[in-house]
């Protein structure tokens, strides 16, 4: 494994890489509030001939925080992806995205369809639609939340055990060992203990205000083969996630009708962090998809 850094105007985007540089490139995108370590247990089970780069989105993991007064929006994370793949010199690659990382991957595959060979979504529908009647309320919530958290404050210092307990309380799907893996990259030592390294501003779930209908429309621009892996105890079963089962079914139906033979859906036993808690449950599906030859029309 190799640590990578990409220069940006406010500092750096951090990433980690596995596998030969000449291998087929795969960009790995983590979920909301997580970091690149979310793939630590999965990637060793995947084809070793591929070259994997797991990115820390800005404000997450070891990546720099954005300047004061700047918000974090999903489109900004799409820009993070564009900066990273430009720095890497990748013209065509696959995306493996968990949760929010799948949403960012889905948006990128729509905006830059000629660059994405395969889109593999781990407990993610590839989009995060907002109900049409709640978009104004969504925007108001974002603005007022930022106003509250932008007041300067001293980060809370935890013992390592306390930081782990806080993480597990906020993420009931995480196993203790998986929590430790994320905190290896998600905390930093300070006098008296550790603090979370992420920017407090990323706690605002700042999704693009797209309706289901808009998501289904822009989905049509994708050229990638799409593999969706849904955990039976993950998003599909979680009505508190912001994407309930009805919306999820609408998006999956959209993939089926739009992609036809380019779309595959696989259900697995597990929770939202199945790729980290029990990576062997999804490794085979991902491997089969990565090794599948893309259709001729999707190649440069």
Q: Which residues are catalytic?
A: 99
Q: How far apart are CA 154 and CA 146, in angstroms?
A: 17
Q: Do strands 116-122 and 187-190 pair parallel, antiparallel, or not at all (unpaired)?
A: unpaired
Residues whose CB is less than 8 angstroms from the CB of residue 279 and which lie 6 or more positions away in sequence, other chains included = 41, 42, 45
Q: How far is CA 264 from CA 1, 120, 121, 270, in A?
A: 30, 10, 10, 18
φ, ψ of residue 268 to 5 degrees: the values are: -130, 155
String of DSSP letters for 30-86? --TT--GGGGTTTGGGS-TTSEEEEEPPTTSTTSPPPPTT----HHHHHHHHHHHHH
8 Å CB contact between 188 and 197: yes
8 Å CB contact between 4 and 17: yes
42: closest CA among 293, 292, 290? 290
Buried b or exposed e, range 230-239, using 16+ CB within 10 angstroms: bbeebbbebe
The partner residues of 230 in beta bridges, in order of sequence, read 267
Using a 10 angstrom Cβ sphere, with 0-12 exposed, 13-18 middle and 19 or more buried, the burial of residue 254 is buried
8 Å CB contact between 76 and 52: no
């Amino acid at each position: 494994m190799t640590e990578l850094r990409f220069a940006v105007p406010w500092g750096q985007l951090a990433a980690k890489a596995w596998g030969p540089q000449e291998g087929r490139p795969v960009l790995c995108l983590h979920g909301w509030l997580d970091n690149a370590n979310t793939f630590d247990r999965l990637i060793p089970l995947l084809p070793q001939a591929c070259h994997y780069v797991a990115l820390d989105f800005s404000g997450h993991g070891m990546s720099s925080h954005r300047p004061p007064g700047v918000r974090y929006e999903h489109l900004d994370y799409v820009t993070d992806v564009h900066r990273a793949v430009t720095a890497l010199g990748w013209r065509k690659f696959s995306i493996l995205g968990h949760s929010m990382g799948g949403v960012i991957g889905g948006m990128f595959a729509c905006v830059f369809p000629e660059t994405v060979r395969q889109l593999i979504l781990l407990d993610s529908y590839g989009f995060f639609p907002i109900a049409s009647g709640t978009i104004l309320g969504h925007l108001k919530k974002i603005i007022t939340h930022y106003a509250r958290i932008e007041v300067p404050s001293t980060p809370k210092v935890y013992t390592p055990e306390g930081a782990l307990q806080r993480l597990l309380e906020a993420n009931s799907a995480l196993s203790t060992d998986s929590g430790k893996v994320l905190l290896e990259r998600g905390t930093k030592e300070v006098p008296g203990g550790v603090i979370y390294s992420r920017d407090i501003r990323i706690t605002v779930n700042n999704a693009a205000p797209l309706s289901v209908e808009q998501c289904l429309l822009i989905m049509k621009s994708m050229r990638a083969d799409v593999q969706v892996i849904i955990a039976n105890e993950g998003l599909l079963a979680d009505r508190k996630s912001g994407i309930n089962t009805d919306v999820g079914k609408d998006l999956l139906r959209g993939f089926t009708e739009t992609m036809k033979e380019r779309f595959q859906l696989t259900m697995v036993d597990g929770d939202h962090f199945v790729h980290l808690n029990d990576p062997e449950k999804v490794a085979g599906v991902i491997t089969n998809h990565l090794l599948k030859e893309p259709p001729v029309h999707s190649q440069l």
